Structure 1
């Protein structure tokens, strides 16, 4: 098959070029055209182990040998073959800085809202989260408990009650229900295919907002299975907030799924309303500006999972951490408050509200987005002019910049 018509993504081709043993298994995600029953029958051949089948979208996860991959590519039912990339987690006064207490005073606390934390699990027995975790699902094989600490920290920023601190470290939407999909292991690492499964599970649970404080270094233009999945779930009516990453300050460092078109990509800001040096910058590979907004992400105090030591330990119940990971659940919580106030808002309208009313920090568009979110302005902006249409793609980052070649995992964006 000519290279120009290859169904393999560039990242997968780069990985295969390094494989010397053609019997070695590679984890892939296949996008297919007809029904899964037909595809599974046609792809029942030596060298293929079927993993997760997604019922909402035409994707399937497989482990294949290089020889089997050649045969899969020749099948007319297969549209494109993606590499299953590794992902990792991206790692008070922050709520006041974005005017969240003013929404609380209006009776907006996230009650009735469902927020999915796709992360390392949550400590459901933590005082700030106890009785608040509506459902959990483990996709790692470790069990649903948080053995890393990242997921618990993020969950408390989005929706923690602040019970262990007398309300001082309350999350943005303290009465929202938490849905925990554990896709990152005790080392903070996971696989793209598991993140996709977690997103699908969250969709099936009827969540209103998905918070993704993780990312991969494999793609920065949304042309990957995870980016497509995120955009597809937005089309299903779910707001998706994604961490920009911690690879700044160089341009072109926002990778998947933060590079997805329809998600709210969140960078990190300091207490002094400056864009954090580490916060990843745009543009995407096809020239789109990102992130969309920034929120507090430096020195954020959140719930500490039992037996974990992520960040700087404050006391038995809390730790402090920095990263776009911490900024993202701020955004997720604010989105839940806006949806509580106006349940008919679409994900696109929620994104417009945040961007149109953000406080301009005077930084570059590809560093701050439109600025730092102001929850009160977003709430009061009903009927005002929408955010201008997204600019047409321009040149991508210069050669030598941009996302690093894929390593084959998902990582958390925390520091």
Structure 2
């Protein structure tokens, strides 16, 4: 029976050679490898090793590179080119049209499987909407405490303020010291657009790799990654400020936007493993995959269980190595296929859906849950009329979860910068707990809702000394247009005031500086536009926390 199975496999491989030229070869073991877990510096950078040490993550067998002799024997079978190797899957990606070589590879005793690879199709590409006069966009303006803002955000203020990114910036956390790997379809003109001048001037672009062509040239390819990067690292004062303008970036092209081959999934695996090896902290993936050109290889919804699609399994591998994985939910919410794609189904990935400027879910945002019942998306951020870089040197609006993902990803970098001793999953849990639907999530549209990174920072700081302020009264309560209250502060600190409606959605925020041993009267006005009802007022600082239910009449 085993001989018959092998014969059919070999026959299948030979027939496939007529149609495919790229293959995924999985090995059975890592016997004979010269690498050991006791000497990780032979295959991991010091930064990658330190990330594991910081989170008490051991170096394991799946960190070891594939056995070099196995690779050599595969290449010796004929006209075969090595594309890259995978430590995590104990596999290699090859390119060949040599049917005899494929049959010989299948016969090698250490080869477990030979799979032709085709790219998953994206059900809906991100669609771009531009207009010349950005003042017509429905974008929120900064609060009256404009002088307390860390940057002149311009029309990008709303997408940052919605998730508390401006608060993190004001506290001094803009992603400095964090390394983000952006896996995308290309980074057209990132080397010349003024929105990225500060990244280059401050040496925040750490390097580039093209896993599609095997070189380092990524600036002549697709524009998609350019817009994605601008949501995190872009900076044009008064126009756009990314959520992590001081983070450092690896720009990794894994997606070939012009083809329909599954090899993009394998490219992503190679990119993620590279990001691991150079010590990246966070991965952003604004890509999603579901179907093949060859319908017989399509993924069904049942496959989206976080454990079937190779890119999803790899995303969880990345998290197990101490990285934080952020990915877009997808843009298929209004189509027949309305589900999330891969790697959005990955168990440990922070999957991000899209809302509009007012915090309402968009029709295009792909829906969950995952096939195994996990809440997906996990959180949401602005993905309609998001402010991104244009290819002409300015800014434009864009629609898609491809942009809500990096907006969130940059805020993750700021939060982790503020809490460097926390693990990736502690950061993850705090973000989830900060979201406005945490207590009543849904498993298909918002997930846990819109995160509040300022609140997440407070959650992570609970081990510090926090003064729970009591005996402070808000007056008048109920209020109509304004209210006031008094707070005492024992130290110099900045506090963040937030007002949330009964659903947990933030409707107002402002910053206030308090002096040491001071008594501060805080007046909050211009609230006549709010609907009648119950609101939760919170004031948080480095050493105080105050909350109070108030009523708008």
Whole-angstrom distance in 2 between the partners of 1:33 and 1:179: 32
> Structure 1 62/194 Cα, relative in aligned 2: closer, same or farther at 3 Å?
same
List per-residue Cα deviations over 1:7-33 (Å, max 9, x = no partner).
Answer: x9xxx9xxx79x976533353323323
Aligned ranges 1:41-120 → 2 under 5 Å = 41-43=72-74, 44-46=76-78, 49-55=81-87, 57-63=89-95, 77-79=110-112, 84-86=117-119, 90=126, 92=156, 93-120=158-185
Whole-angstrom distance in 2 between the partners of 1:104 and 1:115: 17
Q: CA deviation at 1:67?
A: 7.4
Whole-angstrom distance in 2 between the partners of 1:73 and 1:45: 10
Aligned ranges 1:3-402 → 2 under 5 Å = 23-35=18-30, 36-43=67-74, 44-46=76-78, 49-55=81-87, 57-63=89-95, 77-79=110-112, 84-86=117-119, 90=126, 92=156, 93-122=158-187, 123-130=190-197, 131=200, 132-141=204-213, 143-161=217-235, 163=236, 166-185=237-256, 187=258, 191-218=264-291, 219=299, 220-222=304-306, 223-249=308-334, 253-305=339-391, 316-360=393-437, 364-382=442-460
List per-residue Cα deviations over 1:360-390 (Å, max 9, x = no partner).
Answer: 29773222221112111111112669xxxxx
> Structure 1 285/94 Cα, relative in aligned 2: closer, same or farther at 3 Å?
same
Relative contact order: is structure 1 or structure 2 higher (C-alpha 8 Å, sep ≥ 6)? 1
8 Å CA contact retained: 1:23, 1:67: no
Q: CA deviation at 1:79?
A: 4.2
Greater CA drift, 353-362 or 112-121: 353-362
Normalising to structure 1: TM-score of the pair? 0.77
Q: CA deviation at 1:317?
A: 1.6
Whole-angstrom distance in 2 between the partners of 1:151 and 1:292: 22
8 Å CA contact retained: 1:47, 1:67: no
The structure with the largest alpha-carbon Rg is 2
Whole-angstrom distance in 1 between the partners of 2:100 and 2:376: 39
Name the SS for the 2:195 alignment partner.
Answer: coil
Q: CA deviation at 1:251?
A: 7.5
Whole-angstrom distance in 2 between the partners of 1:146 and 1:319: 20
Greater CA drift, 54-63 or 111-120: 54-63
> Structure 1 212/58 Cα, relative in aligned 2: closer, same or farther at 3 Å?
same
Whole-angstrom distance in 2 between the partners of 1:53 and 1:27: 13
8 Å CA contact retained: 1:28, 1:62: yes
8 Å CA contact retained: 1:118, 1:211: yes
Q: CA deviation at 1:231?
A: 1.3
Greater CA drift, 342-351 or 84-93: 84-93
8 Å CA contact retained: 1:146, 1:186: no
8 Å CA contact retained: 2:374, 2:443: no
Q: CA deviation at 1:175?
A: 1.0
Whole-angstrom distance in 1 between the partners of 2:377 and 2:274: 26
8 Å CA contact retained: 2:20, 2:117: no
Whole-angstrom distance in 2 between the partners of 1:60 and 1:194: 11
Flag structure 1 segments of 5+ consecutive residues without an equivalent. Answer: 307-315, 386-415
Q: CA deviation at 1:351?
A: 1.4
Q: CA deviation at 1:305?
A: 3.4
When the two chains are superposed, the root-mean-square deviation of aligned CA atoms in Å is: 3.4
Whole-angstrom distance in 1 between the partners of 2:220 and 2:436: 35
List per-residue Cα deviations over 1:335-377 (Å, max 9, x = no partner).
Answer: 1011100112222112111111111297732222211121111
List per-residue Cα deviations over 1:251-270 (Å, max 9, x = no partner).
Answer: 77222211111111111112
8 Å CA contact retained: 1:146, 1:305: no
8 Å CA contact retained: 1:334, 1:375: yes
8 Å CA contact retained: 1:52, 1:193: no
Greater CA drift, 184-193 or 223-232: 184-193
8 Å CA contact retained: 1:22, 1:67: no
List per-residue Cα deviations over 1:284-340 (Å, max 9, x = no partner).
Answer: 23333322111111111111235xxxxxxxxx4222211110011012101101110
> Structure 1 22/108 Cα, relative in aligned 2: closer, same or farther at 3 Å?
closer
Name the SS for the 1:115 alignment partner.
Answer: strand
Whole-angstrom distance in 2 between the partners of 1:188 and 1:159: 28
Paired residues in the alignment total 365
Whole-angstrom distance in 2 between the partners of 1:81 and 1:350: 38
